[in-house]
Chain A
Amino acid sequence: MWICGFILAVVTLALAYILIRFRRRDDGEPAQGTGNKTLEVVWTAVPIALVTTLFVLSVITARAVDRPLRAPDIVVVGHQWWWEVRYPASGAVTANEVHLPAGRDTLLQIDAADVVHDFWVPELGRKIDAVPGRHNYIWITAGRQATYRGACAEFCGPEHAWMRFRAVIDSPEVFDAWLAAEAAPAPQSAAADAVAGRTRFSQLTCANCHAVRGVNQQEPYAPDLTHVASRRMLAGERLENTSANLREWLHEPNLIKPNCLMPNLNLSDQDLSALTAYLESLR
């Protein structure tokens, strides 16, 4: 960056100096010089030296960032327009939230289910495409406890803007506790409306796309809801995860995220309350 700034400063200053010094003074024609070989060689050689330096620095950085592969700790799959996040060793599955232990080297495998997406958390290093039909890998070693915003960085259709996610970095102990909780099957609330909601979840078409481990088995066409209430945001970061927002989302998803693939089920008030209560119980 400072190299670029320096070159820009030199060019701008030279330009300004020339423009003032050699502005038109009279109608005579100036001396007709046509070139200078030494100068040409100098201003070819110096940039070559500069770009060579940049290249060497790039190679050093690249070799430091990408290390040899092993079995991935986390598999991230880009879908139109949400992120599936699986922890293969424990069986935990979540969505739009990547939890990472601070200080541990973590290997992520990045896949795509439909079109090309791109996994990007600016604070955690490089971005990498999620390409259907191939696996990409990225090493992340998060320094300290923090929450960062991530986004899909490759245009992937109308709701590309709301394919955002969080990267949550916890101390290893907190992370391990979170992972154990996330790997467990869905909690069974005894509250009446939650029980009603659970029944409606299976009766309505919800269960055709969403999985709640312990209730149904489902290919991941849509986010896993086993512990949905523990997440911070809904719908690819479109909404904060509050019970009012959740109810709005179930009521008219197409108003909140016009091209999302979740249909408007025209739920009755009763169903809305029951489903909201049920999903809220899935901590």
Chain B
Amino acid sequence: MSDTPLAPGLIADEYPETVRSAWLDWISTVDHKRIGILYMFATLVFFAAGGVEALLMRIQLARPDSHFLSPDQYDQIFTMHGTTMVFLVVVPMLLGFANYLTPLMIGARDMALPRLNAFSFWVFLFGGILLYLSFVYGHAPAAGWFAYTPLSEKGYSSRYGMDYWALALLGIGVGTVATAVNLIVTILKLRAPGLTIRRLPLFVWMVLVNSFLILMALPALNASLVMLLVDRQLNAHFFMSLGGGSPVLWQHYFWAFGHPEVYIMVLPAFGVISEVIPVFSRKPIFGYGFVAASTVAIALLSLGVWAHHMFAVGLGHAWDYAFGASSLLIAVPTGVKVFNWIATMWGGSIHFTTSMLFAIAFLFTFTIGGLSGVSFATFPLDWQTTDTYYVVAHMHYVLFGGTLFAMMSAVYYWFPKFSGRMLSERLGRLHFVLMFIGFHMTFFIQHFLGLDGMPRRVYTYPDLPGWGVMNMISTIGAFVIGISVLVLLWNMWVSIHAGAPAGDNPWNAWTLEWATTSPPPEHNFEAVPPVRSARPLWDLAHPEGGRL
């Protein structure tokens, strides 16, 4: 990457030769590819932090009545694990991929607003650093990533951890909104000639829908964070019942953001799967229109399901019925997607690359996560299972087995484009097997712990029959996942230095990012190929016809 040419006249004129360096190039870059890589690298570091936090929790929970961590330490760590994985890993990792790939996939030179793009990244990075500075200050936030009031209010969280939390998320939230605006403008205004909306790669489709969802959901969080800060610092009482406020109001605001957030974390993953499965089945996606339209349906429905996080609050039957119905309904477009992906493989010629293995694992685990999700939308079941380990299992099936498996698929698929080198398939398969086994070992058993009555967010538990064994199995699984991540990092390290050269289009894929060199030059394309269908490179290879 270091030989990527500088934009002529941009940095060279402003700084004397002696000041220019690789560091300055990276820090001052407004190139969407470099910003994308900065995002991915930063999220990798935060992922390591969040992963270590997860392992600490699993060590604590491996045996009943353990004293490895104090209750207060455990609460800080589980709060930081959730906050890190959601706000500093999954969302920005997806933004990183979207940043790198969107302009390339639509045949553009860069994002529409490159400086805003750089601003978004740095605001995110400093937000993340601010959050972790709370450890240095001496006390990380400890009221959970959901920060339910009044526990997160000054009276019950008197140290500054929650203030760090709110300020950091506010900064990250502003950056995320700016990126969403940037992506929307880029996709709507900078597409190559011939690339109509109905020919957009599905990944770009989902990024577009996702960006609108961010615009609608994030402001709810940003506003409530400000209200929480006003409560804490200026002694207001938006969320304190004693002063006439309402603790339930926070839950409404938070989940009005928080449930769309779940789809913000999963829609780009759907996009990845919709790119990877067709390429490695050597067939176009089954039902392009239905896959795209079901994304819009999911986004719209996701804005109206938040109170299914609150079935236990006692809001009354009208709420339960309305939000139960909308939550059940959202399973339908999600199911349509799964069926279309499976139908894409039908009659294909499936290449079992590591990328494809992760995509197939995604289909399997995400289906489990989706079905346990349906069991929550049937609210009488939710009254039993909510706030137990059943939920922990469910959300990790969706976010880890779903989104993160899709991200792994994306890494193996696009790493050659980013670096110009292939990742090792042998190490890749080892990584896949370890992660798949580790994941199911950790989380499948948690369904049973939850059904057996183990509440979540507890730092320890009584020695009830079976609980110790099940938790120990879960902990061992978590360490298997940890080892699999080390294999991935090793694979990346080895491949960057000695991987096989990738060439422009190692997978024989069909979208525009494969029509340029790997890695692409700063201006992306020497010439964008003509676009006459959703698969421009297929058309190039098959000039005789066979177009969509």
A220 within 8 A of B: no
Q: How large is the interface on B (under 10, 10 to 19, 20 to 34, 35 or more residues)?
A: 35 or more
Given known contacts A34-B286, A55-B325, A61 and B380 CB-to-CB distance under 8 angstroms: yes
A239 to chain B, nearest CB (A): 11
Interface set, chain B 366-423, CB cutoff 8 A to A: 367-368, 371-372, 374-375, 377-380, 383-384, 386-388
Interface set, chain B 253-303, CB cutoff 8 A to A: 281-290
In the complex, which of the residues B314, B372, B374 has the most CB atoms of chain A within 10 Å of its own CB atom?
A: B314
Question: Which residue of chain A lies nearest to B383 when distances are taken between CB atoms in the complex?
Answer: A126
Given known contacts A66-B317, A127-B312, A127-B387, A116 and B148 CB-to-CB distance under 8 angstroms: yes
Q: Whole-angstrom distance between the alpha carbons of A33 and B283 in the complex?
A: 7
Asked if residues A51 and B374 are in contact (CB atoms below 8 Å), the reply is yes
Asked if residues B312 and A118 are in contact (CB atoms below 8 Å), the reply is yes
Q: Whole-angstrom distance between the alpha carbons of A108 and B521 in the complex?
A: 69
A201 within 8 A of B: no
Q: Write the A152-173 contact mask toward B (1 if CB under 8 angstroms, else 0).
A: 1111111111001000000000
B151 to chain A, nearest CB (A): 4
A193 within 8 A of B: no
In the complex, which of the residues B320, B363, B462, B464 has the most CB atoms of chain A within 10 Å of its own CB atom?
A: B462
Interface set, chain B 143-160, CB cutoff 8 A to A: 143-144, 148-151, 156
Question: Which residue of chain A lies nearest to B457 when distances are taken between CB atoms in the complex?
Answer: A155
Q: Whole-angstrom distance between the alpha carbons of A133 and B314 in the complex?
A: 13
Question: Which residue of chain A lies nearest to B310 when distances are taken between CB atoms in the complex?
Answer: A129
A229 within 8 A of B: no
A191 within 8 A of B: no
Asked if residues A29 and B367 are in contact (CB atoms below 8 Å), the reply is no
A244 within 8 A of B: no
Number of chain A residues close to chain B: CB under 8 A: 77
Asked if residues B247 and A19 are in contact (CB atoms below 8 Å), the reply is no
Asked if residues A115 and B346 are in contact (CB atoms below 8 Å), the reply is no
Asked if residues B336 and A134 are in contact (CB atoms below 8 Å), the reply is no
Given known contacts A29-B282, A35-B288, A51-B329, A154 and B349 CB-to-CB distance under 8 angstroms: no
Chain B residues whose CB sits within 8 angstroms of the CB of A14 once the complex forms: 342
Question: Which residue of chain B lies nearest to A64 when distances are taken between CB atoms in the complex?
Answer: B380
Chain B residues whose CB sits within 8 angstroms of the CB of A29 once the complex forms: 282, 349
Asked if residues B367 and A11 are in contact (CB atoms below 8 Å), the reply is yes
Looking at B17-25, B38-46, B67-75, B109-117, the stretch in contact with chain A turns out to be: B67-75
Asked if residues B462 and A164 are in contact (CB atoms below 8 Å), the reply is yes
Chain B residues whose CB sits within 8 angstroms of the CB of A118 once the complex forms: 312, 387
A62 within 8 A of B: yes
Question: Which residue of chain A lies nearest to B289 when distances are taken between CB atoms in the complex?
Answer: A35
Q: Whole-angstrom distance between the alpha carbons of A29 and B535 in the complex?
A: 14
Q: Whole-angstrom distance between the alpha carbons of A152 and B455 in the complex?
A: 8
With beta carbons under 8 angstroms apart, the residue of A28, A116, A164 that contacts B349 is: A28
Asked if residues B352 and A23 are in contact (CB atoms below 8 Å), the reply is yes
Question: Which residue of chain A lies nearest to B250 when distances are taken between CB atoms in the complex?
Answer: A116
Chain B residues whose CB sits within 8 angstroms of the CB of A52 once the complex forms: 328
Q: Whole-angstrom distance between the alpha carbons of A48 and B247 in the complex?
A: 35
Question: Which residue of chain B lies nearest to A27 when distances are taken between CB atoms in the complex?
Answer: B349
Chain A residues whose CB sits within 8 angstroms of the CB of B461 once the complex forms: 161
Looking at A36-44, A174-182, A208-216, A273-281, the stretch in contact with chain B turns out to be: A36-44
Chain B residues whose CB sits within 8 angstroms of the CB of A33 once the complex forms: 283-284, 286, 347
Q: Write the A43-76 contact mask toward B (1 if CB under 8 angstroms, else 0).
A: 1100110011011011101110110000000000
With beta carbons under 8 angstroms apart, the residue of A18, A57, A134 that contacts B248 is: A134
A195 within 8 A of B: no
A252 within 8 A of B: no
Q: Whole-angstrom distance between the alpha carbons of A7 and B369 in the complex?
A: 12
Asked if residues B387 and A58 are in contact (CB atoms below 8 Å), the reply is no
Given known contacts A30-B282, A34-B286, A158 and B387 CB-to-CB distance under 8 angstroms: no
With beta carbons under 8 angstroms apart, the residue of B248, B335, B377 that contacts A131 is: B248
Asked if residues A35 and B287 are in contact (CB atoms below 8 Å), the reply is yes
B346 to chain A, nearest CB (A): 6
B48 within 8 A of A: no
Asked if residues B247 and A153 are in contact (CB atoms below 8 Å), the reply is no
Chain A residues whose CB sits within 8 angstroms of the CB of B71 once the complex forms: 158-159, 161, 258-259
Asked if residues B150 and A132 are in contact (CB atoms below 8 Å), the reply is yes
Q: Whole-angstrom distance between the alpha carbons of A52 and B321 in the complex?
A: 12
Chain A residues whose CB sits within 8 angstroms of the CB of B339 once the complex forms: 39, 43
B28 within 8 A of A: no
Chain B residues whose CB sits within 8 angstroms of the CB of A122 once the complex forms: 384, 453
Chain A residues whose CB sits within 8 angstroms of the CB of B546 once the complex forms: 32
Q: Write the A13-24 contact mask toward B (1 if CB under 8 angstroms, else 0).
A: 011001100111
Chain A residues whose CB sits within 8 angstroms of the CB of B282 once the complex forms: 29-30
Asked if residues A35 and B312 are in contact (CB atoms below 8 Å), the reply is no
Interface set, chain B 453-480, CB cutoff 8 A to A: 453, 455-462, 464
Asked if residues A65 and B380 are in contact (CB atoms below 8 Å), the reply is yes
Q: Whole-angstrom distance between the alpha carbons of A59 and B379 in the complex?
A: 9
Question: Which residue of chain A lies nearest to B293 when distances are taken between CB atoms in the complex?
Answer: A40
B245 to chain A, nearest CB (A): 8
Asked if residues A24 and B349 are in contact (CB atoms below 8 Å), the reply is yes
A267 within 8 A of B: no
Chain B residues whose CB sits within 8 angstroms of the CB of A133 once the complex forms: 241-242, 246-247
Asked if residues B342 and A15 are in contact (CB atoms below 8 Å), the reply is yes
Asked if residues B290 and A54 are in contact (CB atoms below 8 Å), the reply is no
A199 within 8 A of B: no
Given known contacts A15-B342, A22-B348, A47-B331, A114 and B384 CB-to-CB distance under 8 angstroms: no
Q: Whole-angstrom distance between the alpha carbons of A174 and B347 in the complex?
A: 70
Q: Whole-angstrom distance between the alpha carbons of A131 and B386 in the complex?
A: 16
Asked if residues B151 and A115 are in contact (CB atoms below 8 Å), the reply is yes
Task: List, sorted by A's number, 17 A–B pairs whose CB atoms are closer than 8 Å.
Answer: A11-B364, A23-B350, A24-B350, A25-B349, A34-B548, A35-B290, A55-B328, A57-B378, A114-B156, A116-B151, A126-B384, A129-B314, A134-B241, A136-B313, A137-B314, A158-B71, A161-B461
A32-B548, A35-B289 given; 9 more Cβ-contact pairs under 8 Å: A11-B367, A19-B345, A32-B283, A51-B332, A115-B150, A126-B380, A133-B242, A161-B458, A258-B70
